[in-house]
Chain A
Amino acid sequence: MLTITDLSVNYGAVQALSSVSIEVPKGEVTAVIGANGAGKSTLMRTLSGLVKPGSGGATVGGVTITGRKPEDIVRLGVSLVPEGRSTIPELTVEENLRLGGLWRDKAERNSTHAQVFDLFPVLAQRRKMRADTLSGGERQQLAIGRALMSDPRVLLLDEPSLGLAPLIVTQILELVSRLARESDLAVLLVEQNAVTALRVATTGVVLNLGKVVMVGSGAEIASDEQLRQAYLGY
């Protein structure tokens, strides 16, 4: 579904990504893991249009997305849940969700809205409350819900575990992998927390200093002692 080919990104003289190629099939979670500074967030920001690629690119269903503006990329079916504060605290839960699909046809938008509430019942309960009254886990659900409001074909998740309790991380990631299977969604998950990420991912990609150093099944990577010590640091 999402095909990344020879993607390179430079920040000035620093090469953040060099010739990265990853295939993200639909119906599965593909996890990109690696230490701090491996280029994971740069990858996500480039795919969503916030950062311009140096060379190479990415396509979704054959359409090139790289080099376009974020507001156009989301219309092509690629939705990013950015790292950290990705909800708007001053807006209500309902408004944050509505924001995710404002450009869509009203009837379609309302049906997605209902689906998101089914998926995250707690958001339906708190719809009138400001987003900053939610707990960390609820806020991450809201951020994912907002991204789903555009009815994406590709969901990009940047460090969803950041600052959340392990149990909540597991719940959220299991929900995401079920969503991938049931809605035929291609999920690209970026995580520093490799153990958790590899548990739900069909395929794992290890990124180190902007390069892909290994691609394999989640189990393969999790059991590769050398790799773990060299790149993942645990």
Chain B
Amino acid sequence: MTTFIDYLLGGLGSGAIIALMALALVLIWRSTRVVNFAQVGQAMFTTFIALSIQTWTGSWYVALIGALAAGAVLGVIVQYLVLRPVKRSDTSGAIIATFGVLIALQAAAGMIWPGGSQAFPQPFNNSGIEFAGRVWPISIYDFVVIGITALLVLGLTLLFTKTSLGLSMRAAAFNPEVARLSGVRVSRVLTFGWALAGSVGAVAGVLVAPVSTISPNSFDILLVFAFVAAVIGGLDSLIGAISIGVFTGLVISLVSGYSDSGNAPVVALLLLALNLILKPEGIFSHHKARSV
């Protein structure tokens, strides 16, 4: 039983990071009906930028804020250069375009930051906390990760429920035509959504880098987990992305603990398959059915 609880605790930090990346996917899908597979590429790119900032300034906080800003800028660039030229009705074209962006970003990162995997400095103590006579599998850094995730989720919730911009974003996502007739500048609102998703993904990247390493491909597996979480959560639900994201982190930790970490992606895909068979619209979706 203690082992079980240990595994669960050990999965909280990675669950929070998966939740953030899933959130970024959901933010884009809600407003454009496109799954942005470039999201982890954008996060990888901005994490490299954060690493450079950290090396220059020596401050993790400056690096985090730098990634946040770079993520927003990169999100806007991806939307303008790649998604706008693709016809609005052509969502499969847009999805394939996001794969193209992912490959391009990975190739570019390989050229700009050569030398394979690099270590991202540990901003906080990442060894287990000692408490009540034993070492627990959760660190100060895990608490920082969970805290930052909670803050972001709180901020987004306030944005969507309490502000005019948030209402515009929701209206533009649900019914762009009525939103435009109401005076909402929908294309600007969409661009803001890409910036926002870019920033959320960038934070996920900076948070995951110290516990793995950073290379052009190092976040690919994060994409798998985040995609699974976003789809099971219903793709258009922020609550779904967060809760299933954390849940996925816990499942991965249990699977890795009881068997082997190599099995985690397989289990994640099994969960996805199960979801598509039993409840294809996702657990938290606003919509009754969804074609897959």
In the bound assembly, the distance between CA atoms of A25 and B178 in angstroms comes to: 26
| CB-nearest residue of chain B to A150 | B183
* Interface of B: prevailing SS: helix
Q: Is the CB of B286 within 8 A of A102?
A: no
- Cβ of B171 within 8 Å of any chain A Cβ, yes or no, is yes
* Distance A146 CA – B181 CA, assembled complex (angstroms): 10
Bound-state Cα–Cα, A49 to B183, Å: 11
Minimum Cβ distance to chain B for residue A188 (Å): 15
B174 engages A146 (CB within 8 Å): no
B168 at the interface (CB under 8 A from A): yes
B183 touches A82 (CB 8 A): no
A58 to chain B, nearest CB (A): 16
In the complex, how many angstroms separate the beta carbon of B286 from the nearest chain A beta carbon? 6
A-B contact number at CB 8 A: 68
Please determine whether B286 and A146 come into contact, CB atoms closer than 8 angstroms: no
| CB < 8 Å neighbour of A99 from B182, B185, B286 | B182
Known contacts A88-B174, A90-B174, A90-B286; A70 and B180 CB within 8 A of each other: yes
Is B73 among interface residues, defined by CB-CB distance under 8 A? no
Contact with A along B180-203 (1 / 0, CB 8 A): 111111100000000000000000
Number of interface residues of B (CB under 8 A): 18
CA A101 – CA B178 in complex, angstroms? 12
**Which residues on the B side are within 8 Å of A85 (C-beta)?**
175
Among A49, A102, A149, the one with the most B-chain Cβ atoms within 10 Å of its Cβ is A102
Task: Out of B171, B180, B183, name the residue touching A88 (CB < 8 Å).
Answer: B171
11 A-B interface contacts by CB (under 8 A): A70-B180, A71-B180, A71-B184, A71-B185, A74-B182, A88-B171, A88-B175, A89-B174, A98-B164, A99-B167, A100-B182
Give the A-binding residues of B (Cβ under 8 A): 164, 167-168, 170-171, 174-175, 177-186, 286
- Name A's B-contacting residues (CB within 8 A): 48-50, 69-71, 74-75, 79-80, 82, 85-91, 95, 98-103, 146-147, 149-150
